[in-house]
Chains A and B, each alone.
Chain A
Amino acid sequence: MTEPLLRIEDLAVNFDTPSGVVKAVNGVHLSIYPGQTLGVVGESGCGKSVSALSTLQLVPTPPGCYERGKIWWSAKGEPPVDLLTQTEKQMQSIRGNDIAMIFQEPMTSLNPVYTVGEQILEAILLHQAVGRAQAIEIAVTALEDVGIADARSRLKTYPHQLSGGMRQRVMIAMALACQPKLLLADEPTTALDVTIQAQILELLRELQIKRGMSIMLITHDLGVVAQNADVVAVMYAGRVVEYGSVHDVFDRPQHPYTRGLFDSMPRLGEEKHRLRTIEGNVPDPGNLPSGCPFHPRCRDWQEDVQCAQAVPPLQEVFPRHWAACWHGTGCDQGNASLADIPPVSTTA
């Protein structure tokens, strides 16, 4: 099996707030392989975005602080480097060039005082050794690639002249202009309406196949994950609680939280009944419950199991399907070894 492009190992990020230390990310393991889409799902505040931002060292420090962990980045043919130990200067040449990021709010992610063209050109000129004329050609191609008609004259428009979907396309064009190997998409379609959302996701899929890049797709929409991701990581309270290929996780969810998520989703063609909810609220990340952070809301919680005492490690419950639960249904079937080693991918 090939080396992962990006491997996050036991990442923990804290935020120092006036009301105490908030553990936003608390021991995350993730790997992304070349050409693969990793879907990261979870509720607001479960650490999805912070994990992605950490990859580019974009978490503001202070108040943020990289408590522990490694983020191994292995570009083609080179030994892996830990992105968390890179200097700001080194990170600047990685950001936008090797790893690009697109954000949730296309309406405000473009600088209102510059034309679209100027902003794309800036990114190109920064990372590629090309002249201005050549950069304009690259920018035009990039805009055409994201399906913007009449790209050459669009270069001269200002962000406020474009609709939300168009702006997100521009953001994608900008992110992809330098041919990054990994795209971090932080809820790229949340602010868009459903038809545009489908178009943007379709576009990302096409571009991924064309360029063979990897995508880390952060979302809270399970439907988006089902359609677009190869591998899915379900996060809860700063940890990955379930991890496996989309088919495995969707067919036989192992963690009670994942099952709760599926139960709370309406399905087409199914008899109408009241949807089941997950009781309670997301725990305050500044004051996590003892043991498994999910146990106070867990339907399967039994007093006799060690749920309230110790944090369950991510275990391989089925081959290449991991879950962090003390009494996962598959526990006895799989090789219940502790996953000290970071989980590896299902398929390449």
Chain B
Amino acid sequence: MIRFSHVYKSYPNGALALKDVSFRVGKGEFVFLTGHSGAGKSTIMKLLFAELRPSGGEVRVSGYDVTELKVEEIPRLRRRLGIVFQDFRLLEDRTAAENIAFALEVTGARHDTIAARVMRVLTQVGLSAKSQAYPRELSGGEQQRVAIARALVNDPAILVADEPTGNLDERATRGVFQLLRDINAGGTVIVMATHDLDLVRQTPYRTIELREGAVVFDSAVDEADAVGTS
């Protein structure tokens, strides 16, 4: 589903954000990207949804070659992804349901199907009772659930979540994380950047750790190696 091959990314000011990063993510996987601030997590996220292009190497996401992707093709790639951010990025002047419907309207979904699809994802994230609430009327955890519902409404193959629990208290964090696990159980690939190591340690999922733009640990590779050498 995702393949990074010897990816380099440098910024116009000369800073090297990624150095020779390679990994693959297969169907149904849940992957944590960890590392300190500035380690390159967000750069990888942005490469996944073509907000950035690699300076070298190859990035393939859901069949699209991000390196060669034409500008007109970027929306098509993004419609196959769900994207979730730390700051939720909801439209303040629209209700929860309208925020989700917006993501469908943008993709030209049939008008008569929108309400039902919105209700389905709101139920999935446990917020069907708050469909008419505005973001300011919702708690942080609830706002993030709306954002996740918006990411899910187009039935994405991959959900990209950049520090989705970064702004949440512990209880909300657990709730949102459980939601992501449920979504993954349904077959959706999840790539989640986080620096919440407690969360990472509690779960059996694959972890890719970055330091200064390079992969220093990949549990899928390193544990397989460990098994191989023992």
Q: Do A and B bind each other?
A: no
Q: Which residues of B contact A (CB under 8 A)?
A: none
